[in-house]
Amino acid sequence: MEESEAATQKDTVDNICVEESAENQINEATGEVSSQMSNPGSVSKPSEDTEARYYERLKLFDKVMQKSLEKFIEHASFNRFASTFRPLYKKNPQRMESIYKEFIEEMRKTIQEDISRLIEEGRLEFKLNELDKLESAAKKNKDPAWRPSGVPEQDFCSFLMPYLQKQEAYMRLELKKIQAENAALAQKVQAGRESVVQTEHRISTAVDEWKASVTEFERLASSLCPADAFDA
């Protein structure tokens, strides 16, 4: 008996939710598109030749998101909700149904706000314009598009080799910079060593000259004042 009542309540709630969600989706989609098209500060305004295309893509995006939202809400059925809170459901089924409706509406509103925020923060219009440019460039490119060969090793190598080659070129450039820095440092060290050798040579020369001057002074002193002149 309880299961049949729960199934009946589920069908009723689902029908009401689907009707309300369909109406809300139309209103929200219209409101979001009009607000984004009329608000130039949120994202860059598309040109006239891409405005219609962007509008259609935005409607398709919103339709896909709403369909995904409905699929998600279908999993949060009243039966699952009631089975989770079965003691409360047995005490007051009507109150539980009211809580479920409020829960679904709040969840729908929150998810819809998150989707709108993602559209604004993710700059969906700019990304769609970039997609148009990529499509146009792909049409102009006559070269065949890349397709997997069926051999994962080859596909992986073809994807990884350009990256490794760039890294190798970068490492070679850095190696040349380090070698140049080392050469400059080696020159500075060699110049320092030569300066030390020259300084040592100058010091040694100065010491020799000082010793020679001292010896000459002693010789002159001894010749001018002989030691026997001071004998008593």
Tens-place pLDDT, residues 103-139: 889 988 998 898 888 888 888 778 877 887 888 887 8
pLDDT at 45: 47
CA dihedral 131, 136, 140, 143 (to 10 degrees): 20
Among 107, 139, 171, which residue terminates a domain? 139
Q: In this predicted structure, what is the pLDDT of residue 184?
A: 94
Higher-scoring residue by pLDDT: 42, 149 = 149
53, 135: one domain: yes
The answer to whether the pTM exceeds 0.85 is no
CA angle 30–32–33, rounded 5-degree value = 65
Among 108, 139, 170, residue at a domain's last position: 139
pLDDT tens for 145-165 read: 777 788 888 888 888 888 899
Query: Which domain range does residue 106 map to?
Result: 49-139
Identify which of 23, 21, 50, 24 has the alpha carbon closest to the alpha carbon of residue 37. 50
Domain count, the chain: 2
